[in-house]
């Protein structure tokens, strides 16, 4: 962080500013000029609020040189992080991972059926919602623990690691025991108390982007988790809310190169929630592969018309297989495999 003071700032005021930063464990380098003074701060400046610093009447400007996130920052971690999810590697330069499954778990039999179809099509992991954050309090809220155990049974039969959304701290022990990849949904992206708690978990985390959050806010949420000790974080872009109503959300594929430039963490794309329409899932999946995504998470259901939630955006198993088959040559072009 670089700070310049106003013309004619008294020496005693300069010293007060410097002493304040040094008291916070920062190293201060002062460059004195004829009219202005500029000094740089070296150390962990993530706790400093530029607006508070700028509120000092003798401060002229405040410029943050490095991003406020440290653990997620590629500047301090040049190599791509590869996250291990029960033996499945996400990130790096090789495999693109495809995750498939229903929006909501609807019972043991159907979950096993879908898991078998996902695996047969080339999927690597099974997704499924047991706890559902719904806009309406009257909508189906999920099967809860029963749904988690249905997925566990499907894992025993197919070997597919399972992904499910955690909504509250009181379910952490359950997820720690049964779930392979813990999803934090868009609505909880800035639930900082939950993020702190997840930071203490040993399981990897799939962090979805909030409905209307900036990229930096999203990365800072990952920083909350990593600062707690859990550095196994995977970003998931699922579309953001804009003025456009033709699709459910607006899929921001530009975040793929941005996340890879700014951070060392993997990123996967959710074309199902982004578009809200199964017709567009394939094209957005292929575009995400071409853009360098490390994976896809796609909703799959054998009978979307009667799905308990989000059937309109779910692919039938045969279409899910087609997405993977069409994606393979695209992945090869960019030096990866699917």
- 64-70: which pairs have CB atoms within 8 A and are 24 or more residues apart? 64/1, 65/1, 65/2, 65/40, 67/216, 67/219, 67/262, 68/216, 68/220, 68/223, 69/216, 69/219, 69/220, 69/222, 69/223, 69/263, 70/44, 70/46, 70/223
- How many Å apart are CA 323 and CA 314, to the nearest integer? 13
Residue 55, burial from CB neighbour count under 10 angstroms (0-12, 13-18, 19+): exposed
Report yes or no on 290 lying in a domain.
yes
Which residue, chain included where needed, has tokens 């970003």? 235
Report yes or no on 251 lying in a domain.
yes
Q: How many domains does the chain have?
A: 2
CATH number at residue 33: 3.30.70.1140
Higher pLDDT, 24 or 305: 305
Judging by DSSP bridges, how do beta strands 125-127 and 162-165 pair with one another?
parallel
Of 304, 290, 300, residue with least CA distance to 338: 290
Domain hosting 58: range is 2-63
- How many Å apart are CA 129 and CA 48, to the nearest integer? 38
- How many Å apart are CA 257 and CA 267, to the nearest integer? 10
Report yes or no on 39 lying in a domain.
yes
Same domain, 208 and 295: yes
Question: What proportion of the chain, given as a percentage, has pLDDT over 90?
Answer: 76
- How many Å apart are CA 36 and CA 19, to the nearest integer? 19
Same domain, 37 and 158: no
Predicted local confidence at residue 187, as pLDDT: 95
Residues in the chain: 338
Same domain, 40 and 185: no
Compute the CA torsion angle 110, 111, 117, 120 (nearest 10 deg). Answer: -140
Which domain-ending residue is among 44, 63, 82? 63
Same domain, 38 and 122: no
- How large is the average pLDDT for residues 262-267? 97
Same domain, 250 and 320: yes
Predicted local confidence at residue 293, as pLDDT: 98
Dihedral angle sign, alpha carbons of residues 329, 330, 331, 333? positive
* Rg of the chain on CA atoms, in Å: 23
Q: What's the angle, vertex CA 151, arms to CA 196 and CA 305, rounded to 5?
A: 105
Dihedral angle sign, alpha carbons of residues 166, 170, 172, 174? negative
Average pLDDT of the chain, as a whole number: 93
Least confident of 16-25, 86-95, 188-197, 292-301: 16-25
Q: What DSSP string runs through 285-312?
A: HHHHHHHT-SEEEEEB-S-GGG-SS-GG
Dihedral angle sign, alpha carbons of residues 66, 68, 71, 74? negative
Most confident of 17-21, 34-38, 128-132, 257-261: 257-261
Report yes or no on 69 lying in a domain.
no
Higher pLDDT, 54 or 283: 283
SS3 at position 5: strand
- How many Å apart are CA 296 and CA 61, to the nearest integer? 43
Same domain, 114 and 179: yes
Report yes or no on 223 lying in a domain.
yes
Which domain-ending residue is among 63, 88, 114? 63
Report yes or no on 68 lying in a domain.
no
Which domain-ending residue is among 63, 88, 104? 63
Report yes or no on 338 lying in a domain.
no
Same domain, 253 and 109: yes
CATH number at residue 258: 3.20.20.70
Q: Give the model's confidence band at 288: pLDDT under 50 very low, under 70 low, under 90 confident, else very high.
A: very high
Report yes or no on 206 lying in a domain.
yes
Predicted local confidence at residue 32, as pLDDT: 74
46 has a pLDDT exceeding 80:
no
Predicted local confidence at residue 48, as pLDDT: 84
Indicate the DSSP class of residue 13: H
Same domain, 49 and 126: no
Same domain, 183 and 293: yes
Same domain, 119 and 142: yes
Same domain, 197 and 162: yes
Q: Per residue in 194-233, pLDDT tens?
A: 999 999 999 999 999 999 999 999 999 999 999 999 999 9
278 has a pLDDT exceeding 90:
yes
> pTM of the entire structure?
0.86
Predicted local confidence at residue 130, as pLDDT: 95
Same domain, 224 and 192: yes
């Amino acid at each position: 962080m670089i700070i310049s003071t106003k013309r004619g700032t008294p020496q005693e005021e300069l010293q007060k500013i410097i002493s304040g930063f040094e008291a916070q464990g920062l190293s201060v380098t002062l460059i004195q000029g004829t009219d202005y003074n500029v000094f740089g701060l070296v150390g962990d400046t993530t706790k400093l609020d530029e607006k508070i610093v700028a509120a000092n009447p003798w401060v002229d400007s405040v410029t943050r040189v490095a991003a406020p996130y440290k653990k997620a920052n590629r500047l301090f971690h040049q190599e791509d992080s590869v996250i291990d999810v029960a033996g499945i590697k996400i990130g790096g330069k090789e495999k693109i991972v495809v995750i498939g499954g229903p929006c909501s778990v609807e019972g043991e039999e159907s979950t096993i059926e879908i898991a078998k179809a996902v695996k047969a099509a080339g999927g690597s992991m099974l997704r499924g919602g047991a706890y559902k954050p719904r806009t309406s309090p009257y909508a189906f809220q999920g099967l809860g623990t029963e749904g988690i155990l249905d997925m566990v049974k499907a894992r025993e039969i197919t070997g597919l690691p399972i992904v499910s959304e955690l909504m509250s701290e009181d379910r952490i022990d359950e997820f720690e025991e049964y779930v392979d990849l813990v999803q934090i949904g868009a609505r909880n992206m800035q639930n900082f108390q939950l993020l702190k708690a997840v930071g203490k978990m040993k399981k990897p985390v799939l962090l979805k982007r909030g409905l209307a959050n900036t990229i930096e806010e999203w990365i800072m949420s990952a920083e909350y988790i990593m600062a707690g000790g859990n550095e196994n974080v995977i970003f998931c872009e699922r579309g953001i809310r804009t003025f456009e109503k033709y699709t459910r959300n607006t899929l921001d594929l530009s975040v793929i190169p941005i996340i890879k430039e700014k951070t060392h963490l993997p990123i996967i794309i959710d074309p199902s929630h982004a578009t809200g329409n199964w017709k567009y899932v394939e094209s957005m999946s292929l575009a995400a592969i071409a853009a360098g995504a490390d994976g896809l998470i796609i909703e799959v259901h054998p009978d979307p018309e009667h799905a308990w939630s989000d059937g309109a955006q779910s692919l039938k198993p045969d279409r899910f297989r087609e997405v993977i088959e069409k994606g393979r040559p695209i992945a090869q072009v960019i030096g990866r495999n699917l």
